[in-house]
A and B are shown apart, each in its own frame.
Chain A
Amino acid sequence: MFEFDLYRVLSFAFQFLDSFAVIVLATVGLAIIFGMMGVINLAHGEFILVGAYATTLAFHAGAPLVLAMVIGVAITTVYGVILERTIIHRFYGRLLDSMVVTFGISIVMIQLTRIAFGNSLPQISTPFSSIGFGPYSYSTYRVALAGVALLTLVSLYWLFTRTDFGVRARATMQDADTARSMGVDTDRMYTSTFAIGSALAGLTGALYAPARSMNPEMGSGFLVEAFVAVVVGGPSVLLGTPLAGGLLGAVNAGFTTLGGTFIGQVAMLVAAILAIRLMPNGITGLIETIRQKRRERA
């Protein structure tokens, strides 16, 4: 009996790591662009699509998987920069307009992909096989993605807090006029930040290319998790994303293990509703409020 329980705990743990990885990787690109630039990118799923398709096509053209993934990220970054320079830079600070225009881009992208590549692409097999435990097993690759997700977050934290670039980028986002008067090329900062967001979406697509079915609408499969996590995470995106990923991932994994995938999804969305009701400014908003109250008391 003890053994059985241990296996169930392991199953939950792997399930959690899997959910955490999906939520964090789906969210992080969106969070950077939304949190830093105030643009709600409804075409985020299609950025992921570009990464996944580029990776899959490069792989089938003969590139080894890792190189194919690098190509996927690179192409998505270039794609993002072109889109930013031609269209999106006109919509900074116009939240609702940016939603409409990116929604349009999303529809155009899905249909263009369908016209160019048909209704599906042959899928890459998942590498690394699986971890066996008792009668159960779990995909090694999907568990490893949790590590990649963490590594991505740490790198971003370092980039935005410990480098000169990060300071300039945050200054631009906080007060563009002052930053400009201090000699920061704010236009370049916007483009670079958008490029980073695009690269992260491309990375997500590249990483999930061997784990999901390739079709023109695959991007929308990431959107719900991404938007829920951004809202639950709150204003401080670098901290909010892992916290939201941890909370929602745990709820999703727990209820999925108990009651199946349907209950898992229901529980995750209920948790998100409760989180938004109890913490209207998200987890990091709540943390900020508590800090401020402490400061006032002190």
Chain B
Amino acid sequence: MNGRLSRRAVLAAGGAGGLSALAGCTADGGLLGGSDDDDGPPTIGVLEDRSGTFALNGESKWQASLLAVEELNEAGGVLGEEIEVFDPDPQSDNERYRELTREAITDENVVALWAGYSSATREAIRPIVNEHDQLYFYTTQYEGGVCDSTIFPVGATARQQLGAVIPYMIEEYGPRIYTIAADYNFGQISGDWVKIFAEEHGAEVVAEEYIPLEETDFGSTINNIQGEDPDFIASMLVGNEHESFYSQRADNELEIPMASSTTMAQGYEHLRIDPPGLTDVYVGVNYMEEVETDSSQEFVDAFYEKFPDAPYINQEAQNNYFSVHMWAEAVEAVGTFDQEEVIAHLESGVEVDAPEGTIELDPATHHMTHHMRVGHADESHELEFFEEQYIEPSFLHEVGCDLTETPEQTQYEPEDFYDV
């Protein structure tokens, strides 16, 4: 899960991928990018974790995908064909992700792929996706910057999420920010974004601490924060182990408010941790099941009807749900499952009615313009939402990513374009 490790692993996968691409040239050359109408029913790949570290986040993504497919099939399928799902459990294991991605593309001939929770996973399978020009939807909220011809990162980016919550917090509480974040590519890049927003709004990051994913004891971190006494904490803590922070925060009566892009909307900490651990935690989100709009309510009802025992619908589940529908609409519009044509249609600029509201796909960057909200938990962990804004994926425009003009397979990082 560590950024450095995964980078090395990506290299290895890239090397292996190169070899197998050579070997497979003749064998599956004819299928690349083509539709497989003649080889049986159209299949989509849904690789989401139901065990291992990210099961808590992945399960709900998987369920929402199945719900969307069920709705499509009940309404007569896509282009009159019943959609099948290839959905083995990758077990939060990047090595298994690589195997299953390969299997999904070459054996199952998936016409579209949804896969992965963490950025480390996305980077692990991206070389395989690139090698096969596979249409791939990555739905987790993430650090941003992926500019890739066949990839649609439809979750909100750090700039969209932190852009919703950090300026609000500076306005509300003051300019001194203490950053705590998970120590891998997502956390580090998000930390850079906090600095960029601080600078843009005349605030200052007084200290930052990057914490290994395995850490469970936050006594010293809390002491360091108390020593600096910031106006608010910017938190990009990730995963099960880091959740111990909140009970320790309550225990130490650390009442400094927190701004986050990761908390509550993914791991529903506000329901799992006893109050008052998350008092005055503010999170920038495009969706949470507590959002009280008609479109959200409809989705929530349908979801719990299909999965009555599910504990929560997270932000990513909503992203899986609307992106499956968005893909199906694009297929209907072009009249074929051919991935190139579907991508071309998506790049013409499409709108989709998502539970979060009606949103638009940005053709140049393959990202979504999202309805961003600030969610706030009070001392009994009741949520309210405010400051709704419609935020574009602006960072990739700034760096000149335009996939409708120039095909690319890149991830841009803020440190290359800002002074951080």
Chain A interface residues (CB < 8 Å from chain B) = 11, 14-15, 18-19, 22, 111, 114, 118-126, 129-130, 135-139, 141-142, 210-213, 215-218, 221, 224, 253, 256-257, 260-262, 264-265
Contacts and interface: CB of A to CB of B under 8 A. Distances in A.
Contact of B272 (A120, A141, A210, A217): A120
Nearest to A119: B56
Contacts of B183: 262
B328 interface: no
Contacts of A261: 209, 211-212, 215, 217-218, 220-221
A120 B253 CA distance: 24
A15 B241 CA distance: 18
Nearest to A257: B220
Contacts of B214: 221, 224, 265
B226 A122 contact: no
Q: Which of B55, B210, B223, B274 has the most CB of A within 10 A?
A: B223
A129 B219 contact: no
Contacts of B40: none
Contacts of B74: none
Given A119-B55, A139-B251, A261-B211, 5 more contacts: A137-B252, A213-B241, A260-B210, A262-B211, A265-B214
Contact of B212 (A22, A118, A141, A265): A265
Contacts of B218: 261
B274 A119 contact: no
Contacts of A135: 226-227, 229
Contact of B251 (A22, A130, A218): A130
A123 B220 contact: no
18 contacts: A11-B220, A18-B217, A111-B51, A119-B59, A123-B243, A125-B247, A126-B247, A130-B253, A135-B226, A136-B223, A136-B227, A138-B222, A218-B240, A257-B223, A260-B210, A260-B220, A261-B215, A261-B221
Interface of B: 51-53, 55-56, 59, 183, 209-212, 214-224, 226-227, 229, 240-241, 243-244, 247-248, 250-254, 271-274, 277, 311
A221 B211 contact: no
A137 B221 contact: no
Contacts, number: 123
Contacts of B210: 260, 262
Question: Closest 5 interchain pairs by CB?
Answer: A213-B243, A119-B56, A126-B251, A125-B274, A256-B220
Contacts of A119: 55-56, 59, 311
B274 A118 contact: no
A139 B241 contact: no
B219 A138 contact: yes
A142 B219 contact: yes
B345 to A, nearest CB: 37
Contacts of B219: 14-15, 18, 138-139, 142
A136 B252 CA distance: 9
A122 B253 contact: no
A111 B277 CA distance: 28
Q: Which of A139, A141, A257 has the most CB of B within 10 A?
A: A139
Contact of B226 (A137, A211, A212, A265): A137
B381 to A, nearest CB: 11
Contact of B274 (A124, A212, A264): A124
A38 B183 CA distance: 37
Contact of B240 (A120, A136, A139, A265): A120
A264 B214 CA distance: 13
A135 B224 CA distance: 10
A264 B244 CA distance: 18
A261 B221 CA distance: 7
A61 to B, nearest CB: 16
Q: Which of A18, A111, A256 has the most CB of B within 10 A?
A: A256
Contacts of B209: 260-262
Contact of A122 (B55, B216, B217, B274): B274
Contacts of B223: 11, 15, 136-138, 257
Nearest to A18: B219
Contacts of A111: 51
B252 A217 contact: no
Contacts of A142: 217, 219
Contacts of B244: 211-213
B241 A136 contact: no
B240 A217 contact: yes
A206 to B, nearest CB: 16
Contacts of B311: 118-120
Given A213-B240, A262-B211, A137 B222 contact: yes
Given A212-B244, A257-B220, A265 B251 contact: no
A257 to B, nearest CB: 6
Given A120-B272, A142-B219, A215 B253 contact: no
B298 to A, nearest CB: 26
A260 B224 contact: yes
Contacts of B273: 122-123, 213
Q: Which of A22, A124, A212 has the most CB of B within 10 A?
A: A212
Contact of B217 (A11, A22, A257): A22
Contact of A125 (B55, B212, B250, B254): B250
B316 to A, nearest CB: 14
Nearest to B241: A221
A262 B244 CA distance: 16
A210 B274 CA distance: 10
A136 B55 contact: no
A129 B55 CA distance: 32
A218 to B, nearest CB: 7
A126 to B, nearest CB: 4
Contact of A129 (B53, B220, B251, B277): B251
Contact of A260 (B221, B251, B274): B221
A256 B224 CA distance: 10
Contacts of A123: 243, 247, 272-274
Contacts of A137: 222-223, 226, 252-254
A120 B210 CA distance: 25
A126 B244 CA distance: 10
A78 B53 CA distance: 28
A210 B251 CA distance: 11
A218 B244 CA distance: 11
Q: Which of A119, A136, A217 has the most CB of B within 10 A?
A: A119
